[in-house]
Structure 1
Amino acid sequence: MYNKWNDVKGKIDSQSPLIHCITSPIAINDCANAVLALGAKPIMAEHPLEVENITLMSKSLAVSLANITDARAESIMISGKAACKAGISSVIDLVGVTCSKMRADLAKKYITQCRPAVIKGNVSEIKAVCGMGFDASSGIDVSDKDKVDSANPKSIEEMSYIVKNYAAANGCVVMASGETDIISDGKEVYHISNGSSRMADVTGTGCILNCITAVFMSVTDALTACVLAAAVLGISGELADDSRGLGTYHIGLIDSLSLMDSEKFSQMAKIKKYNK
């Protein structure tokens, strides 16, 4: 995966792909700027009467269940079906499926009818769509009970098994984000260990990851896209970590994305192929 950065980033720079993002208004500005920072072009259209045409002129689609509304729910399904029919890859972010039956039902409907290339969520959200037990006490955030971290190798092993099996069952790539990001296409499993604890203090970093995954997916396969997106955002979070306050850190995250190069990526990416 380390040697794929130059080729993939070169394609983004030369093609400047149009990326359709239907995401939360809470994070929409940051998502658009993150897409721009990587060299792609964002379009954030979400009106039900226009989204099909917008999706069909785009190279990939990112949808999020965050801060969902009736209109956005309708648009997500319209765009997802259009993308599926046209062979345009989509990624869905499962925000809030642990605390909202409506979102959980919409997620299942999208996965079944729109066949996304990538299903993304935190550990609690992935467990929820798998039909497993999960702790919903933390709202849209991953619960302490469900957290996966390096201090508990068994938790990483168990979640790797869940992610791999769910990916295989749905014929897609599954990305469980966290301190260690776990990504699988049902055959291979990758662990990404980049990131900063301060990223959790900035609203919308999960939405950013969703949208930059779509950027990479516009020029490469879904597994490579997920691995690169998780590593690049994590590295950017680390590079911004010398910022003084949270506002400066927030801006530093986008700065670091825009300044990412092959040297930083090769030196800082913590990508491990899991072989169990």
Structure 2
Amino acid sequence: MYTNLKVVQEQNPLVHNITNQVVTNFTANGLLAVGASPVMANAIEEVAEMASIAGAVILNIGTLTTETVDAMIEAGKAANEKDHPVILDPVGAGATSFRTAKAKQILDEVNVTVLRGNAAEIAHLTGEQWEIKGVDTRSGEGDVTQLAKKASELFGCTVVITGEVDVISNNQGTNRVMNGVPLLTKVTGSGCLLSSVIGAFAAVNNDVLETATSAISFYGIAAEKAAKLVGDRGPGSFQIEFLNQLSKITEDDEVLCKIERITK
């Protein structure tokens, strides 16, 4: 588990983000903290070239336009040609028909390596109707583990559903991660940054189930440490300390991983 983090820190993979306007700075700083090298390039004239040299490509539809999605597909196809991992974050899928259709278009035209979202977003992409408010999930009554398995089979990729318990599933197996704190939900872009961190880990190890699981667990551990240090000072202080703790994860922290492995 720890070796995935260590390799990221040693190799400093280039992670190409086509992400939303709200989270660009936070995402770049978070990737730097874990040891990756971020680049934010979304002009269609250069995305294919950038994607071809990046270790991973992150496609985040948080503030999508038709032009941005065209650039995402161009970048995704270029990454596919180089066999580089592509992570899709379908922010707000299910909130509007346009947003849902564009996420499905990317899934149709790009070989996505990891699909990461909350339960409502993933459910809507599979045709189920879970409640969503704006780009945030609301109460869902379904089984998240079964939803992750269903989505993985449907889309032929690793599916990560994040929430109180995070579920990671592909044709090799299913894992559940219990690391993390509620304060993460009070920081805009915490899920978006996680998608990019998963990309950084996937860039250095092609065992996607293992790398996604370790990325999510270490991410949650950093959040737990930050929350403990911040106390009741609130989400602003937590966000800053969270970046600090992402940069301080060490080999010793592996003992804090809370992972349940589910056999198929």
Band the TM-score falls in, shorter-chain normalisation: over 0.9
Query: Which residue identity lines up with residue 195 of structure 2 in the other structure?
Result: N
Give the paired residue count: 260
Q: Of residues 183, 188, 210 in structure 2, which corresponds to 1:203?
A: 188
Read off the aligned partner of 2:239 and give its amino acid letter.
H
Equivalent residues in 2 for 1:1-276, closer than 5 Å: 4-5=1-2, 7-136=3-132, 138-146=133-141, 158-220=143-205, 221-241=207-227, 242-243=229-230, 244-264=233-253, 266-275=254-263
102-111 or 118-127, which moves further after superposition? Answer: 102-111
Q: Residue deviations 1:127-169, cap 9 Å, x none?
A: 0011112213x221111235xxxxxxxx5xx221221132123
- The aligned amino acid for 1:245 is G
CA distance in 1, matches of 2:189, 2:240: 13
Whether the aligned pair in 2 keeps the contact of 1:168 and 1:187 (CA below 8 Å) is no
TM-score, normalising length: structure 2: 0.94
Unpaired runs of at least 5, structure 1: 147-154
Indicate conservation of the 8 Å contact 1:83/1:114, yes or no.
no
Farther-moved stretch of structure 1 (121-130 vs 216-225): 216-225
- What is the identity, as a one-letter code, of the residue corresponding to 1:257? L
- Structure 2's unaligned 5+ residue stretches are none
Identity of aligned residues (%): 28
Give the deviation of 1:230 after TM superposition: 1.2
**2:76 aligned partner, one-letter code:** G
Deviating beyond 3 angstroms after TM superposition, the runs of 4 or more aligned structure 1 residues are: none
1:149 maps to: none
Root-mean-square deviation (CA), in Å?
1.4
SS in 2 for 1:87: coil
Amino acid at match of 2:18: I
**What amino acid sits opposite 1:258 in the alignment?**
S
Q: 2:119–2:140: 8 Å Cα contact kept in structure 1?
A: no
